[in-house]
Amino acid sequence: VIDATEKIVCPSFVDLHVHFRDPGQTYKEDIESGSKAAVAGGYTTVVCMPNTQPALDDVPLIRYVIERGEEVGLCRVLPAGAITKGRKGRELTEMALLKDAGAVYFTDDGAPVMDSFIMRKAMEYAGSIGSFVADHCEDLNLSQNGVAHEGEIAAALGLPPLPPEAEDTMVARDCVLSIQTGMPVHICHISSRLAVEIVAWAKAMGAKVTAEVTPHHLYLTDEEFLDFSCVAKVSPPLRTHEDIEATRWALASGIIDFVATDHAPHAHHEKMQDLQVCPPGMLGLQFALPIVLELVKKDYMDLTRLVEVMSTNPAKKIGLRPPQIKVGETAEFTIFDPFETWEVNEDTILSKSKNTPLLGRKLTGKVKYTFYNGKIVYKD
Ligand code: NCD
Ligand code: ZN
Ligand code: ZN
Ligand code: ZN
């Protein structure tokens, strides 16, 4: 018997954007450690990005992720296929074959800007086989060697600035290409106020554009650089209070379709390197619920919308039946305590890597149980 007094029972969460580093960089995370962090965050479906080593650009690699995920058995681990071979931005992969093998969408996430011609061809190919492409949306020609959002903090700390138009121009380009081709495009980790306005405009034009936002872009600002060095570095960069406010309202109102964590584990020694060379990215799977719950408490949205943005909407986006609260073999839900406070630390983080500016801080909202395939896969 499970006592759910004063707890909330809801469909478990679906994250369309995680980096499990498997194969190739399993010292940062692997499918097993990533799955453990996922179910502890209330997730039972995750989509792994293809920026592994090698990149997920052929059928055996797509099959590997699915089969390894099933072997671990804690949650549904699905792969996103690379758009281009080796994620080099030149030659399209055999998307139709990758889709048949189980790739749920296509992205070169993390790779340098893809030129507009390749992006249009990719949109048309993916759209024609009933799939879609997702774009990282940062123009490296504009961001140069920037590490922090261009603004007061970067200026005060003397950090190389990264202007928001590096993101805005790519979001605008992708929206235009989507309108012109009539094909879908998904904007990864949207973070700037203007990019949100552009997506709102594209949607008003009838474009098949969807967008996701990360927990960190809903919650943290570039002020994190005051206390953290590389641990605060992420692409796109943490921005300002105004940007956070814009993404929160956009998520509440439907301009942004769902939350995706962009869970990006990196090892301690990598994050200790010089700010210029250290890899961008931070963890997300265990922090999404408390952060979105805070938006409910602050009255940006209600719990129904929380379920939409954390579960139903991302599930539908990849054609998955949304998780079901029920008994029996298909039970797939999570039970959380909306008022329990816990500390983020090396012990509570279940990922192999511990890279997050939330280390040492307290969050409110704790997953107590996660059910997948009718079984308990996580118990607090
Ligand atoms: C991601 C990673 O580490 O793979 N890093 C990041 O800062 N977001 C890559 C990505 O999502 O673009
Ligand atoms: Zn990205
Ligand atoms: Zn402030
Ligand atoms: Zn990513």
Q: What is the pLDDT of residues 157-191, one digit of tens each?
A: 999 999 999 999 999 999 999 999 999 999 999 99
Is the CB of 110 within 6 Å of ligand 1?
A: yes
Tell me the β-bridge partners of 79: 48
**Which residue is it, tokens 């194969």?**
23
Is the CB of 107 within 6 Å of ligand 1?
A: no
- Tell me, what's the ipTM? 0.95
Catalytic annotation on 100?
A: no
**Which residue is it, tokens 């797939």?**
332
Rounded to 10 deg, the angle between the 165-181 and 193-204 helix axes is 10
- Whole-angstrom distance, CA of residue 321 vs CA of residue 319: 7
Cis peptide, bond prior to residue 161, ω within 30 of zero: no
- Whole-angstrom distance, CA of residue 148 vs CA of residue 223: 10
Residue 365: phi and psi, rounded to 5, are 115, 110
pLDDT at 144: 82
- Whole-angstrom distance, CA of residue 157 vs CA of residue 161: 10
Return the best residue to mutate from 109, 186, 189 for the ligand 1 pocket (most ligand atoms within 8 A of CB). Answer: 109
Contact 323, 332 (CB under 8 A): yes
For residue 314, the tally of other CB atoms under 10 A from its CB is 25
Q: Which tokens go with 168?
A: 């805005």
Q: What is the mean pLDDT of residues 200-229?
A: 97
Q: Is 203 exposed, middle or buried (0-12, 13-18, 19+ CB in 10 A)?
A: middle
Strands, E assignment, the chain: 8-11, 13-18, 43-48, 76-79, 106-107, 133-135, 148-149, 161-162, 185-187, 209-213, 258-259, 333-343, 362-372, 375-379
pLDDT at 145: 85
Q: Which residues contact 22 (CB under 8 A, 6 or more apart)?
A: 29, 30, 31, 34, 48, 52, 65, 68
Q: What does the DSSP 8-state code read for residue 159? A: P
pLDDT at 2: 87
Q: Residue 141 is inside which H or E element, if any?
A: helix 140-143
Which of ligand 1's atoms lies nearest the C-alpha of 17?
11
Is the CB of 262 within 6 Å of ligand 1?
A: yes
pLDDT at 264: 98
End-to-end CA distance of the chain: 15
pLDDT at 129: 98
Return the best residue to mutate from 51, 53, 143, 217 for the ligand 1 pocket (most ligand atoms within 8 A of CB). Answer: 51
Is the CB of 216 within 6 Å of ligand 1?
A: no
Residue 38, pLDDT above cutoff 80: yes
List the catalytic residue out of 262, 299, 302, 337.
262
Q: What is the mean pLDDT of residues 94-103?
A: 98
Tell me the β-bridge partners of 180: none
Question: How does residue 112 score in pLDDT terms, banded at 50, 70 and 90?
Answer: confident
Q: Share the mean pLDDT of the chain.
A: 97
Residue 1, pLDDT above cutoff 90: no
- Whole-angstrom distance, CA of residue 350 vs CA of residue 356: 12
Rounded to 10 deg, the angle between the 288-297 and 241-253 helix axes is 80
| Cα of 141 from ligand 2 centre, angstroms | 16
Residue 29, pLDDT above cutoff 90: yes
Q: What is the mean pLDDT of residues 148-161?
A: 96
pLDDT at 140: 87
